[in-house]
């Protein structure tokens, strides 16, 4: 009879079998080291400042100085930006795009040549400010 069969027969009789090889004592498992806690998250101060949904070009010169844009009201900034920066009424062939804070001499030299193309899209107040700026700086 094999060693295995002898052990099984002993177990069947209800007797604890004798083991020929000494049982290895179970090795203690190493205890996991506790993790250092995550540093606490600092609460936000100031928070997120929500912008109005249609802020448009009102804050266009917040970081860039532009003498013409700075002289416009928020509504005029939006109107000017829609017409000459975003070209919402269409791009005017031959009229360069206006660059906020850039060199716009060519734009101001040519803007009145194309007056007939955008006259229906521009307010009288913005047209007056364009004229005054060109006549003062031109």
The whole-model pTM stands at 0.51
Q: If you write DSSP's letter for every residue of the chain in order, what string do you get?
A: --HHHHHHHHHHHTPPPPPSSPPPPPPPPPPPPPPPPPPPPPPPSS---PPPTT-TTTTTTSSS--HHHHTS-HHHHHHHIIIIIS-TT---TTPPPP-TTS--HHHHHHTTTTHHHHGGGS-HHHHHHHHHHHHHH-
Both structure tokens of 15? 């007797």
- What is the rounded CA–CA span in Å between residue 94 and residue 121? 18
pLDDT (tens digit, 0 to 9) for every residue of the chain, 138 residues total?
788 788 878 877 877 766 555 556 667 777 877 777 777 766 666 554 544 444 455 455 455 678 888 888 899 988 888 888 887 777 777 888 888 888 888 888 888 887 777 778 888 898 888 888 888 876
Q: What's the pLDDT at 100?
A: 85
Q: What's the pLDDT at 43?
A: 64
Residue entry with tokens 């003498």: 67
């Amino acid at each position: 009879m094999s060693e295995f069969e002898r052990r099984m027969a002993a177990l069947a009789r209800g007797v604890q079998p004798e083991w020929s090889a000494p049982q290895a004592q179970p090795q203690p498992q190493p205890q996991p080291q506790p993790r250092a806690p995550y540093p606490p998250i600092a609460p936000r101060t100031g928070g997120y400042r929500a912008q109005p949904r249609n802020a448009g070009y009102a804050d266009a010169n917040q970081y860039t100085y532009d003498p013409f844009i700075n002289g416009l009201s928020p509504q005029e900034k939006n109107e000017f930006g829609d017409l000459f920066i975003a070209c919402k009424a269409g791009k005017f062939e031959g009229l360069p795009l206006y660059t906020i804070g850039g060199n716009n001499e060519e734009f101001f030299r040519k803007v009145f040549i194309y007056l007939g193309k955008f006259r229906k899209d521009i307010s009288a107040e913005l047209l007056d400010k364009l004229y005054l700026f060109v006549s003062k700086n031109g």
